[in-house]
């Protein structure tokens, strides 16, 4: 079993290497390797993960370990319930993305490197979720950052794609420093880098409240960057020029999910340091509201989804911050399912229309029936419509926050109340922007190109993943009803809050009525295009970081040119000057040379005569 797990981690990297080797010689082979490899990985993930769900005992193994002084670095893997569900999520979404990319990137000349990078991306996420050593986890974590950089910049001929990739890389890398320092602090404190050892030591007690505030805060910084929370949230919407399947992968299963996963993995640490949880809760409250607000007013379909990811991730952090572990993880899984569905469906729309702007869409209901059906389910799940998975998981999150506000002891009551009220408000806004996007894309007056009949449904390779993803989107609510079947015993058992659910549904229904009324009244966009001033975080970064770094770079360049280069240039110039003197003699006049020879011979003769 454990060797299967090692194989599972290694497989995507091997696939990537092979598809890069054969990629440009055989197109069919690349496609076969990518899709077949991810299918095999998914099968392996099922074999490894399903026996670990429920009340199974976690398995782990140390494959290799260093014996130098200090805590040992270990190549060790560990699978518990959390790792198992994350493995399933990552590999399912990755497999569907690979299948989907067959259609979406059918004519792309850079398909081989794309497929290879998707494989590496998936393998890195798998490494993060099964790593038992903090340094191994860091390797996977950084590999994901690098892969996201390459994949966002897939269309590197576009200026905005390059800028978005650099921004994503720099912002997440900066935040990753938090993880690095947290690893060092934890290693010094516990004399081990093994996550399971550290966490069981913390769970064992003996630590004062907030004694471990430093590593918890450092980890919070890392996950805030990776999961695009305020104030490091701006990279995620700017990463939208990447191919849409990549957005699905980043938003649903890998990159941003890794942040939530890390909090869940290090949960005993956070529980022992509620100060960090307070910070996380406040950050989450601000982020979810901001994300929903910008999703409400943007005109770009992919940006709506990107901002909604920011907002939904904040829900997960909110749940984790108030101690609702199961609710947070289940919302992560639910979000992974429906956000993958949404992005792939949006990719189908973009593929058909050729633009991501919602003003170029409209009236697509009849033209794209499959996309319409699946995206309706996805948006319904996002908005929390009754039988879909988002309803149950969001209800669990909000209910847990209400419990924490009334009787919780983990975070301060006012923080919990702030979080609760923001969650309710954001749920309403979520419904509003989902409904608006739905209406703008599929209803209303068709845009000229749509009306001209140029739009056609996407190929089967793109539609099959959509239908497959509707299954967890529609039926995932069962998992929320029986969390112990997945996350094992000890998770809180009452995730369903009937009264709250009824209230929220009424609120959501009321909002839907208001939005529909506004839509009918304005005949088109439900509300005028308002421009909400964005919090000036990007400007702050620009003034505080980017410009000083640029100045410093200018200074360094000047130093290099005027100081370091001056020595090299000086050496060259002096050699050349010396050469100039010697070159005077080489004037090409043979008689001059002979004169020197004769004079030299005479001088030698005289010297010989004098010495004799």
Partner 1 sequence: MPLWWPLLVASLLFAIGVYAVLVRRNAVLVLMGVELMLNAVNINLVAFDAHFRDALHGGQTFALFIIVIAAAEIGLALAIVLMVFRTHGHIDVDRLRSLADRDEVEEPIEVSPVMSR
Output the smallest distance, CB 592 to partner 1, in A. 9
Q: What's the Cα-to-Cα distance from 101 to each of 45, 229, 268, 351, 425, rounded to whole Å?
A: 21, 28, 39, 11, 36
Q: Which is nearer to partner 1, 67 or 586 (CB)?
A: 586
CA 399, 405, 408, 411 torsion-angle sign:
positive
CB 105 within 8 A of CB 98: no
Stretch that binds partner 1, among 69-77, 131-139, 303-311, 589-597 (CB under 8 A): 589-597
Length of the chain, in residues: 612
Tokens of 503: 């209230």
Output the smallest distance, CB 586 to partner 1, in A. 4
CB 117 within 8 A of CB 16: yes
Stretch that binds partner 1, among 101-109, 211-219, 310-318, 593-601 (CB under 8 A): 593-601
How far apart (Å, rounded) are the C-alpha atoms in residues 76 and 130?
A: 9
Output the smallest distance, CB 580 to partner 1, in A. 10
Residue 529 binds partner 1, judged by CB under 8 A: no
Residue 598 binds partner 1, judged by CB under 8 A: yes
Angle subtended by helix axes 413-442 and 274-297, to nearest 10: 20
Q: Which is nearer to partner 1, 209 or 583 (CB)?
A: 583
Output the smallest distance, CB 598 to partner 1, in A. 6
| Max intra-chain CA distance, the chain | 125
How far apart (Å, rounded) are the C-alpha atoms in residues 79 and 82?
A: 8
Of 594, 603, 605, 606, the one binding partner 1 (CB under 8 A) is: 594
- Token look-up 């081989």 returns 112
Residue 573 binds partner 1, judged by CB under 8 A: no
How far apart (Å, rounded) are the C-alpha atoms in residues 286 and 299?
A: 22
CB 74 within 8 A of CB 62: yes
Output the smallest distance, CB 582 to partner 1, in A. 9
Of 25, 67, 69, 586, the one binding partner 1 (CB under 8 A) is: 586
Output the smallest distance, CB 159 to partner 1, in A. 43
Q: Which is nearer to partner 1, 478 or 599 (CB)?
A: 599
Output the smallest distance, CB 609 to partner 1, in A. 15
- Token look-up 């919780």 returns 408
CB 253 within 8 A of CB 175: no
Interaction mask 67-106, partner 1, x per CB under 8 A? ----------------------------------------
Output the smallest distance, CB 25 to partner 1, in A. 48
Output the smallest distance, CB 599 to partner 1, in A. 10
Helix (H, G, I), strand (E, B) or coil at 324: coil
Cis-peptide into 296, omega within 30 deg: no
Interaction mask 341-380, partner 1, x per CB under 8 A? ----------------------------------------
CA 525, 530, 536, 542 torsion-angle sign:
positive
Which candidate, 80, 51, 59, places its Cα nearest to that of 3? 59
How far apart (Å, rounded) are the C-alpha atoms in residues 495 and 480?
A: 7
Output the smallest distance, CB 576 to partner 1, in A. 11
Q: Which is nearer to partner 1, 156 or 593 (CB)?
A: 593
Tokens of 393: 């998981």
How far out from the chain centre does Cα 399 lie? 27
- Burial of 202 from C-beta contacts in 10 A (0-12 / 13-18 / 19+): buried
Q: Which is nearer to partner 1, 598 or 606 (CB)?
A: 598
Q: Which is nearer to partner 1, 489 or 600 (CB)?
A: 600
Q: Which is nearer to partner 1, 594 or 603 (CB)?
A: 594
How far apart (Å, rounded) are the C-alpha atoms in residues 59 and 53?
A: 12
Stretch that binds partner 1, among 231-239, 420-428, 446-454, 583-591 (CB under 8 A): 583-591
Q: Which residues pair with 78 in a beta bridge?
A: 60
Residue 590 binds partner 1, judged by CB under 8 A: yes
If binding means CB under 8 A, how many residues of this protein chain bind partner 1? 10
Stretch that binds partner 1, among 38-46, 244-252, 379-387, 582-590 (CB under 8 A): 582-590
Output the smallest distance, CB 571 to partner 1, in A. 20
Tokens of 221: 């910084």
Output the smallest distance, CB 591 to partner 1, in A. 6
Q: Which is nearer to partner 1, 521 or 584 (CB)?
A: 584
Of 588, 609, 611, 612, the one binding partner 1 (CB under 8 A) is: 588
Which candidate, 327, 321, 333, places its Cα nearest to that of 257? 333
Of 493, 589, 600, 605, the one binding partner 1 (CB under 8 A) is: 589
Angle subtended by helix axes 2-22 and 111-130, to nearest 10: 160
Residue 587 binds partner 1, judged by CB under 8 A: yes
- Token look-up 């709250």 returns 500
Residue 581 binds partner 1, judged by CB under 8 A: no
How far apart (Å, rounded) are the C-alpha atoms in residues 129 and 214?
A: 23
Interaction mask 532-571, partner 1, x per CB under 8 A? ----------------------------------------
Q: Which is nearer to partner 1, 445 or 589 (CB)?
A: 589
Output the smallest distance, CB 152 to partner 1, in A. 51
Residue 583 binds partner 1, judged by CB under 8 A: yes
Residues forming the site for partner 1 (CB under 8 A)? 583, 586-591, 594-595, 598
């Amino acid at each position: 079993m454990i060797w299967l797990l090692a194989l599972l981690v290694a497989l995507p990297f091997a696939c990537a290497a092979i598809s890069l080797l054969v990629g440009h010689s055989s197109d069919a082979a690349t496609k076969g390797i990518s899709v077949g490899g991810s299918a095999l990985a998914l099968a392996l993930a099922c074999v490894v993960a399903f026996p670990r769900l429920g009340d199974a005992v976690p398995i782990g193994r140390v494959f290799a370990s260093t014996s130098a002084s200090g805590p040992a670095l270990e190549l060790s893997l560990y699978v518990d319930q959390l790792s198992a569900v994350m493995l399933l999520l990552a590999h399912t979404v990755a497999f569907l993305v690979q299948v989907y990319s067959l259609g979406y990137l059918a004519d792309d000349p850079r398909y081989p490197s794309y497929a290879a990078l998707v494989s590496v991306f998936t393998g890195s996420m798998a490494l993060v979720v099964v790593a038992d050593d903090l340094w191994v986890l860091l390797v996977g974590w950084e590999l994901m950052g690098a892969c996201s950089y390459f994949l966002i910049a897939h269309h590197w001929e576009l200026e905005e794609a390059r800028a978005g990739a650099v921004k994503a890389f720099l912002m997440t890398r900066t935040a990753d420093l938090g993880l690095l320092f947290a690893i060092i602090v934890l290693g010094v404190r516990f004399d081990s880098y093994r996550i399971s050892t550290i966490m069981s030591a913390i769970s064992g007690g003996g630590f004062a409240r907030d004694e471990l505030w430093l590593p918890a805060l450092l980890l919070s910084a890392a996950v805030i960057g990776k999961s695009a929370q305020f104030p490091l949230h701006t990279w995620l919407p700017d990463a939208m020029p990447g191919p849409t399947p990549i957005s699905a992968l980043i938003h649903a299963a890998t990159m941003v999910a890794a942040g939530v996963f890390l909090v869940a993995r290090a949960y005993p640490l956070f529980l022992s340091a509620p100060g960090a949880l307070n910070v996380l809760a406040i950050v989450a409250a601000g982020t979810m509201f901001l994300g929903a607000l910008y999703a409400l007013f943007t005109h770009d379909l992919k940006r709506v989804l990107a901002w909604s990811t920011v907002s939904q991730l904040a829900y997960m952090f909110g749940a984790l911050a108030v101690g609702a572990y199961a609710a947070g993880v289940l919302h992560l899984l639910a979000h992974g399912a429906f956000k993958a569905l949404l992005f792939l469906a949006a990719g189908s729309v973009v593929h058909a229309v050729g633009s991501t702007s919602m003003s170029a869409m409209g009236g697509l209901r009849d033209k794209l029936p499959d996309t319409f059906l699946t995206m309706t389910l996805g948006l319904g799940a996002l908005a929390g419509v009754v039988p879909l998975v988002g309803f149950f998981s969001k209800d669990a999150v909000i209910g847990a926050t209400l419990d924490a506000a009334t009787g919780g002891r983990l975070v301060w009551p006012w923080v919990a109340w702030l979080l609760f009220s923001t969650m309710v408000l954001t749920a309403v806004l979520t419904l509003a922007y989902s409904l608006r996007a739905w209406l703008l894309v599929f209803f209303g007056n068709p845009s000229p190109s749509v009306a001209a009949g140029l739009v056609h449904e996407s190929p089967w390779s793109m539609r099959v993943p959509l239908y497959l993803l509707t299954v967890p989107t529609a039926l995932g609510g069962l998992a929320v009803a029986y969390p112990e079947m997945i996350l094992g015993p000890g998770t809180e058992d009452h995730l369903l809050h009937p009264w709250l659910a009824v209230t929220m549904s009424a609120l959501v229904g009321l909002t839907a009525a208001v939005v529909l009324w506004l839509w009918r009244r304005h005949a088109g966009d439900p509300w005028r295009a308002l421009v909400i001033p964005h919090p000036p975080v990007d400007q702050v970064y620009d003034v505080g970081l980017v410009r000083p770094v640029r100045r410093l770079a200018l200074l360094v360049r000047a130093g290099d040119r005027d100081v370091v280069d001056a020595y090299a240039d000086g050496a060259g110039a002096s050699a050349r000057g010396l050469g100039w003197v010697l070159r005077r003699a080489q004037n090409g006049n043979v008689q001059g040379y002979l004169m020197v020879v004769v004079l030299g011979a005479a001088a030698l003769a005289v010297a010989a005569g004098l010495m004799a």
